[in-house]
Amino acid sequence: MPVVKPISDQTRALTTIQEREDHIQRSIAHGYDDLTNGRVRPWKQAKAEADRMRAIR
pTM, to two decimals: 0.54
| Domain ranges, ordered by start, for the chain | 23-57
Q: Indicate the pLDDT class of residue 1, thresholds 50, 70 and 90.
A: low
How sure is the predictor about 38, in pLDDT bands with cuts at 50, 70 and 90? confident
What does the pLDDT average to over 19-33? Answer: 93
Q: Buried b / exposed e across 10-47, counting CB within 10 Å, b at 16+?
A: eeeeeeeeeeeeeeeeeeeeeeeeeeeeeeeeeeeeee
Reply yes or no on whether the pLDDT at 34 is more than 70: yes
Confidence of residue 20 (pLDDT cuts 50, 70, 90): very high
